[in-house]
A and B are shown apart, each in its own frame.
Chain A
């Protein structure tokens, strides 16, 4: 399984753009990169998934360089409600797969 490394914590202010980078040097050819968000006492929630280049949805953007050894989750104009733990996962996305979580990045957004 590809191991991921991401910062333990990050601080930001409302309205700023936040970029969280995840390293996954041993990513396999068939692996996707998926980010989840988790609020206290709730289950993780899917944010975005990508394989290569750039993916954008209504919540975030995901940037993946050509070598796929890292990825960056970009949250535009964060608000207080974006304070949460963000997890970067790498693996095959199928019903047979299991999810391997690290400790994630605790993002604290201040007024």
Chain B
């Protein structure tokens, strides 16, 4: 079963740097959403991509940007990293319009 695959699993960056996280959706899924989960909190919605366009966006600054490729895979980019960006970044995929989300195991980003 080709579930949601995220890379890398762990990452350490320095304040001010830029980072790119990658996600391959579950087979058959065409919609990808990204979530940020700080320690002890529930996941918070960053944005959603469908047909290579950002369809919805949560309350995150423009430092957070993304991209979806023709094969439905997606990237999350974060510029000018802050210590507060340290979190588990989760990718979730689904098929529009049916719904039903599958999450990846996440990328643990540590900003020092």
Is A98 part of the contact surface with B, judged by Cβ < 8 Å? yes
Residue of B56, B96, B102 near A98 (CB, 8 A) is: B56
Residue of A44, A95, A97, A101 near B44 (CB, 8 A) is: A101
Main secondary structure of the interface of A (DSSP, over half): loop
CA A17 to CA B1, docked complex, whole Å: 31
* B93 shortest CB reach to chain A, Å: 10
Is A54 part of the contact surface with B, judged by Cβ < 8 Å? no
Q: Which residue of A lies closest to B48 (CB)?
A: A98
Number of A-B contacts (CB under 8 A): 64
Binds A, one of B67-75, B77-85, B104-112: B104-112
The CB with the most chain A CB atoms within 10 A, among B31, B42, B94, is that of B42
Residues of A in contact (CB 8 Å), total 19
Q: Which residue of B lies closest to A101 (CB)?
A: B42
B-chain residues with CB within 8 Å of residue A95 when the two chains form the complex: 30-31, 50, 94-99
* B100 shortest CB reach to chain A, Å: 7
CA A43 to CA B105, docked complex, whole Å: 5
Contact assessment for B106 and A96 in the assembled complex, using a CB-CB cutoff below 8 Å = no
Contact assessment for A46 and B98 in the assembled complex, using a CB-CB cutoff below 8 Å = no
* A7 shortest CB reach to chain B, Å: 14
Is A103 part of the contact surface with B, judged by Cβ < 8 Å? yes
Is B101 part of the contact surface with A, judged by Cβ < 8 Å? yes
CA A96 to CA B92, docked complex, whole Å: 13
Contact assessment for A94 and B99 in the assembled complex, using a CB-CB cutoff below 8 Å = yes
* A108 shortest CB reach to chain B, Å: 15
With A43-B4, A103-B42: A93-B100 Cβ-Cβ less than 8 Å: yes
Contact assessment for A99 and B41 in the assembled complex, using a CB-CB cutoff below 8 Å = no
23 pairs from A and B in contact (CB 8 Å cutoff): A41-B88, A41-B106, A43-B90, A43-B106, A45-B103, A46-B100, A46-B102, A93-B99, A94-B97, A95-B94, A95-B98, A96-B96, A96-B97, A96-B99, A97-B99, A98-B45, A98-B56, A99-B33, A99-B43, A99-B45, A99-B92, A100-B45, A101-B43
